[in-house]
Structure 1
């Protein structure tokens, strides 16, 4: 089972778009197959191939996702964590890796001080409570947390870099499995109904390039910048969310015009009708 009919498995992935839409060519192929006296045996063989293709694709996707994640966590926990902590705590005098961290820390400390004064004014805390000592304890807590966040940012950069290398290495080594996965994805998409294709297209465009997408992109960019310890520059974020969705929308429309219109013109027509 491991080495048989790889050519048939990759047939869909290697098909090229032509003058005749692929849906029409498949309709003629299906009609021709029904007239074939050996169609039952071929259908049984195709069923076995499809089952093998599905199982192989699922295993490969899990392998692609799990192995880099495991290596990421193991390298961060057992290699990078003691190494980076030792260097950062011994040789780094500044607690903050960028100005954004510093601003967030000062804002948090200021809110805590205002909260203490407010609780004293409303009688929740006694007047003799030493606010200065409470502020020192809070400042120390914030300093430790942001010091760990700065060290974790460096660990994230190195660990993610290792994971990317492992991920690309798996793709390069397992070209056969990648070809099977590509064929499985193409077949799964082409077997969807026109309504389902149009629904997925509209869902994808509304999420990533729709009216509310800038808010989502802003949250994603802030999380990515904070993950890698980069300054959360508002100008950079606003420039990104004002240009990248536009580029993505242009690429997506070109894909519809260039490829999907030839592969499944009925799906494109359904998409336009649903989008109106």
Structure 2
């Protein structure tokens, strides 16, 4: 029973084009099914296959998402966190991992110093002595030192825990080939089962977010967050180079998918997409 279900699940979703329109063929197939005396049994069996496909796909998808996330957080808190904190406090390395952190720290300190002098000039702070201003700046400098030392230690923890969770994710993919096949079939059923308008809407939404004319600002924020997450220098040259190349490659791949697969499976969805995009 399970073997038959798996064959049913792995059946290709893409249909080949023929000389007769698919709508006419599907209409005749529908009449043929309704006149078949075994139609009720086949309908029940198809429902069981669909339920088997949905339940197993959702379970495996939750495992792929939750297992690496939980392992990442637990390993960071229980394993790599104490180890990095011990080494950091014992060996006392430099608080800055890169020049970007140093520049941000100096910028924050300079902004705070200008704020102190401004408040003194407008009379918001009554004590206008030089020692008072120096004391406040010194306190702020100590706070920034603790802040960026903690950020540097967190970056090292992130590298270790993310690498560990990535290994777990790859192991789940390698050991779950059968589940991946089921999940792929389930996703294909969802995507190709959408209406033409829904497909066109999702295509436009995806392309406008990731490869649209305003997407470079979003990519810049994402790349800066990733680099800061791993304690890497926030090189403007690298960010601009990535923005000028990766969205173009992604747009080319997406257009190839539309031309190679979607245009063959659902030409009306492609036509709707072009009409909505004009």
User: What is the TM-score with the length of structure 2 in the denominator?
Assistant: 0.92
Pick from 5, 21, 24: which aligns with 2:22? 24
Aligned to 1:47: 47
Answer yes or no: is 1:85 the counterpart of 2:80: no
Structure 1 stretches of 4+ moved >2 Å? 1-4, 15-21, 23-37, 88-93
Greater Cα shift, 60-69 or 85-94 = 85-94
Aligned counterparts of 1:273 and 1:198: Cα–Cα separation in 2: 9
Aligned to 1:218: 220
Aligned to 1:266: 268
Q: Using CA pairs under 8 Å that are at least 6 residues apart, name the structure with larger relative contact order, 1 or 2.
A: 1
Question: What secondary structure, in the 3-state scheme, does the structure 2 residue paired with 1:130 have?
Answer: helix
Question: What secondary structure, in the 3-state scheme, does the structure 2 residue paired with 1:11 have?
Answer: coil
Answer yes or no: is 1:118 the counterpart of 2:118: yes
CA contact 1:72–1:160 (8 Å) conserved in 2: yes
Shift of 1:29: 4.8
Aligned counterparts of 1:166 and 1:271: Cα–Cα separation in 2: 39
Question: What secondary structure, in the 3-state scheme, does the structure 2 residue paired with 1:94 have?
Answer: coil
Aligned counterparts of 1:275 and 1:20: Cα–Cα separation in 2: 29
Shift of 1:90: 2.6
CA contact 1:72–1:159 (8 Å) conserved in 2: yes
Answer yes or no: is 1:33 the counterpart of 2:33: yes
Question: What secondary structure, in the 3-state scheme, does the structure 2 residue paired with 1:217 have?
Answer: helix
Aligned counterparts of 1:31 and 1:220: Cα–Cα separation in 2: 53
Aligned residues: 273
Aligned counterparts of 2:183 and 2:89: Cα–Cα separation in 1: 46
Aligned counterparts of 1:207 and 1:98: Cα–Cα separation in 2: 31
Deviations 1:139-186, CA, capped at 9 Å, x for gaps: 111001100111111111111111111011111112222111111100
Aligned counterparts of 1:87 and 1:29: Cα–Cα separation in 2: 70
Q: Aligned-residue CA RMSD in angstroms?
A: 2.0
What does 1:1-276 align with in structure 2 at a 5 Å threshold? Answer: 5-12=5-12, 18-20=16-18, 24=22, 27=26, 29-30=29-30, 32-126=32-126, 127-128=128-129, 130-276=132-278
CA contact 1:222–1:232 (8 Å) conserved in 2: yes
Shift of 1:48: 1.7
Shift of 1:53: 1.4
Deviations 1:71-90, CA, capped at 9 Å, x for gaps: 10111111111111122233
Deviations 1:222-241, CA, capped at 9 Å, x for gaps: 00000011100111101111
CA contact 2:14–2:265 (8 Å) conserved in 1: no
Shift of 1:132: 1.2
Q: Which runs of 5+ in 2 are unaligned?
A: none
Shift of 1:31: 5.1
Deviations 1:236-259, CA, capped at 9 Å, x for gaps: 101111111111111111111111
Shift of 1:268: 0.9
CA contact 1:198–1:270 (8 Å) conserved in 2: yes
Question: What secondary structure, in the 3-state scheme, does the structure 2 residue paired with 1:210 have?
Answer: coil
Deviations 1:185-210, CA, capped at 9 Å, x for gaps: 00011111111111111111111101
